[in-house]
Amino acid sequence: MPIDENAALDDRQLRERAYHEDFAARHKDKAEQPVNLDVISPGPRRPWNAFWSAYDLLMAERPAGKRVLIPGCGFGEDAIRLAKLGADVHASDLSPDLLDIARGRAERMDAGGIHFDVMPAEALTYPDGFFDLVFFNDILHHVDIPGAVAETRRVLKPGGRVVANELYTHSSLQRVRESRFVSSFVYRRMVRFIYGSDTPYITADEHKINELELAILEKALAPDARYMFFLFTGGRLLPADWLAVQKMDRALLNTSEAVGRRLAGRVVLAGTTRK
């Protein structure tokens, strides 16, 4: 159910689409690269890793035969994985160029039947109550969260499920990060060590969601939603891909939900939409 690519987008969406169209042009080789399926394959799991934990939650939903929405699907990795798990996948993105690459990858990996649609997460054209499950994977920091959550709730069936894996930081820690000393002295000297790059964020519009923005999603979910928290030192003081850092942070942050909410750099959750 695609929309007119020239339909009205706000300034932020236009900037986001322009960036990702340029990104797609610089990474056309992705079309020839297969998607790694380790995370959905039998074998040992990695509970200290947020990405793997999100897929643990997805597979616990038994997605085979279910209609699944993946907003902001990018190069199609999650869409292909969910299709391989037997889901009826609808994957949307602002950028038609990204979707062209995702569509080609799906065809090469025999993951046909995925519906790739050009549309913003805040203005979905799917009917009410269309989906069983939605997977937010590093997308909420790209969008207008109230609009995207409202649309997600609309297109989910009553009792539909949400799984999310999102960048997160409590506003109190963000104030420390934005303090003059940290931002102008400490952070500038550590960013390459931490991220392996001088530009850790993709665009000026993007940021980790904070506790107030997370609460917007939580209000749409029943109170028994499950939460896991990751990355306290990882991505702040040490590289996030260091295994020992992942394990240490996972253990610390999940001693209690209060600790996780205050100190985490990433949150994974699963919940049922409220009636």
Low-confidence stretches of the chain (pLDDT beneath 50): 1-4, 6
Structure tokens at 10: 């706000």
SS3 152: helix
Quote the pLDDT of residue 200: 59
Distances (CA, A) of 62 to 58, 67, 92: 7, 11, 22
Quote the pLDDT of residue 198: 67
Strand order in the sheet with 226-230: 115-118, 88-93, 67-70, 131-137, 156-167, 266-272, 226-230
Task: Give me the residue label for tokens 């790209």.
Answer: 142
Q: Is the CB of residue 16 less than 8 Å from the CB of residue 142?
A: yes
Quote the pLDDT of residue 185: 72
Residue from 102, 100, 165 nearest 134 by CA: 165
CATH classification (class only), 11-269: alpha beta
Quote the pLDDT of residue 10: 77
pTM of the entire predicted model: 0.90
**Kindly report the CA angle at 10 between 9 and 11, in degrees rounded to 5?**
120
Quote the pLDDT of residue 235: 86
The packing angle between helices 96-108 and 11-26, to 10°, is 40
What are the residue boundaries of the structural domains of the chain, listed by start?
A: 11-269
Quote the pLDDT of residue 6: 45
